[in-house]
Amino acid sequence: MRYIFGAVLLACLLCAPAFGQARYSKEQREVLAVLNDWVDALTKNDLGRLERIVGDDYLITTSENTILNKEQDLSPIKTGDVKFQTVSTQDVNIRVFGKTAIVTGIGLFKGTYKARPFDIRERFTDVYVKRGRRWQPVASHATRLQP
């Protein structure tokens, strides 16, 4: 009996990601793929990928109440001041309105800034626009969450 329960539990765990994907529309899955690519590029400190993912007209309102454009936002990665070790998201919600998508969630960031460690949790809102066949983030807002 214990083996059957274990096999059923394992089957449920293996199928869970597939069931989670089914709840998203095609457009939501496309936006989620860009978000996941963005997270992966941040984790790998891949400036070239980040520059391709993020729209040239991108603006972010940071948790420090500063508005940065794309160049300013990516500058600490370019200079090497910021080194991400892990980046992940939680509680992601995607709403699509034609060629615009709004993504909300929680971002978890661990790494170093000028060799000093940081561990940050932020609630974020991202706006994506579909340009041609691809989605691009064009605006973000972040609010720091208490640990």
pLDDT for 1: 43
pLDDT for 14: 40
Q: CA of 10: how far to CAs of 5, 13, 14, in Å?
A: 9, 5, 6
Name beta bridge partners: 3.
Answer: none
Rama region for 80: left / alpha / beta (φ>0; ψ in -120 to 50; rest): left
Q: Which class for 122: exposed (0-12), middle (13-18), buried (19 or more C-beta within 10 A)?
A: middle
pLDDT for 76: 98
pLDDT for 23: 86
pLDDT for 8: 38
In the β-sheet with 134-144, what is the strand arrangement from edge to edge? 67-69, 59-61, 134-144, 116-131, 100-113, 82-97
- Could you read off the pLDDT of 102-121 as tens digits, one per residue? 999 999 999 999 999 999 99
Q: How far is it, in rounded angstroms, from Cα 53 to Cα 34?
A: 7
Fold of 25-144: Nuclear Transport Factor 2; Chain: A, (3.10.450)
| Average pLDDT by stretches of 10, the chain with 147 residues | 39 42 87 99 98 98 96 98 98 99 99 98 99 98 93
Q: Per-domain residue ranges for the chain?
A: 25-144
Instruction: Tell me the whole-structure pTM to 2 decimals.
Output: 0.83
Q: How far is it, in rounded angstroms, from Cα 91 to Cα 111?
A: 21
Collapsing DSSP states into helix, strand and coil, what is residue 4? helix
Token pair recorded at residue 34: 């860009």
Torsion of CA 51, 57, 61, 67, to 10 degrees: 100
